[in-house]
Structure 1
Amino acid sequence: MADSKSGLSDKVKGNVSKVKGEIKDQIGNATDNPSLQAEGKLDKVKGNIQEKIGEAKDRNK
């Protein structure tokens, strides 16, 4: 199990958020639902930030 200083957990959460966001974005696009599309885009941004936090933690070990 990764400890709180490990970036792996943040990187995994980031990837999950990005995938979830992409799915919402695509479904929103396909169903002409701008609200769902926007939510998906926010999830992707959140995922990118989580990944960067994880990378920073790994560099600072």
Structure 2
Amino acid sequence: MQKGLSGAQNEILTAVVAAAREERGRTGAEGAERVVAEETERRCAERHEGGGPTGHPWR
């Protein structure tokens, strides 16, 4: 939350950064950048798939 993100946004950020770090170790910076773009889009789409409010102000 220190980053000004909700709990769910922070979870997405943390997961994407971890995946990108792993990929960078295997394939370098280009692979990490690809993972960031793909995983961020996928995880955000999953999170907002219903389009409605979450019912919790910090999630």
Higher helix content, 1 or 2: 1
State if a TM-score over 0.5 links the two structures: no
**TM-score interval, smaller chain:** 0.3 to 0.5
- Bigger-Rg structure (1/2): 1
Q: TM-score, normalised by structure 1?
A: 0.43
Q: Specify which structure has the bigger relative contact order, considering alpha-carbon pairs within 8 angstroms and separated by 6 or more residues.
A: 1
